[in-house]
Amino acid sequence: EPEVTQTPSHQVTQMGQEVILRCVPISNHLYFYWYRQILGQKVEFLVSFYNNEISEKSEIFDDQFSVERPDGSNFTLKIRSTKLEDSAMYFCASRRSAPSNQPQHFGDGTRLSIL
Amino acid sequence: KNEVEQSPQNLTAQEGEFITINCSYSVGISALHWLQQHPGGGIVSLFMLSSGKKKHGRLIATINIQEKHSSLHITASHPRDSAVYICAASTGNQFYFGTGTSLTVIP
């Protein structure tokens, strides 16, 4: 069964550095999402992306964050000038566009550790 | 302010028991999602529903739109059902998550 893949599985970065988290959604999916989960806390929505643009974003998704679909397969989350509080598990998800009410498929996540 | 509230927060059951996890939400939704998060962290989508009831194997999800309430039921629970179950409400492409219910099924 096709699956969403995320790389790397664990990323360690110095505070202030830029980091790019990568996701390869399922090939015929058109909606893409990023979520984060700080250790011991609930999952939080960051952003949704459709038709090469952001369709929704949360308050967390400020100017520090950006998303891109640089080619036909990758979907990336960039965090500029990382902060300690950016340490979390970041999940990518994708879903088909039709028929309606398609479930999301999640990647296994990237654990981001900011030192 | 929590748009999605789940109960109980923790649940321990004996193998074979019938389990119910509840979810209440305060936002207008396009869909209600039930997710399962395994101890390793991976997330699997169990159900996505906007009305009525859905069943998949031993899992049943129901939703009452008027009361803004959903339940996830597990029949004949098994130790492999041990996981965190998360309720999430979607409004268009925005999502609000509950804090999860940690379920442990004891053999």
Q: Which residues of A touch B (CB under 8 A)?
A: 31, 33, 35, 37, 41-45, 48, 50, 55-56, 58, 89, 91, 93, 101-106, 108-109, 111
The size of chain B, in residues, is: 107
- A31-63, pLDDT tens digit by residue? 999 999 999 999 999 999 998 999 999 999 999
Q: What is the pLDDT of residues A63-111, one digit of tens each?
A: 999 999 988 789 999 999 999 999 999 999 999 875 556 788 999 999 9
In terms of pLDDT, which residue wins out, A26 or B92? A26
Token representation of residue A25: 């959604």
Tabulate helix, strand, coil % of chain B (nearest 5): 5, 60, 35
In 3D space, the residue among B2, B1, B4 whose CA is nearest the CA of residue B89 turns out to be B4
- Split at pLDDT 50, 70, 90, the class of B40 is confident
CA end-to-end span of chain B, whole Å?
37
Query: What is the rounded distance in angstroms from the CA atom of residue B4 to the CA atom of residue A34?
Result: 19
The chain B residue lying nearest A5, using CA atoms, is: B42
Task: State yes or no: pLDDT of B91 exceeds 90.
Answer: no
* The two structure tokens encoding residue A108: 């296994």
A37 CB neighbours in chain B (<8 A) are 41
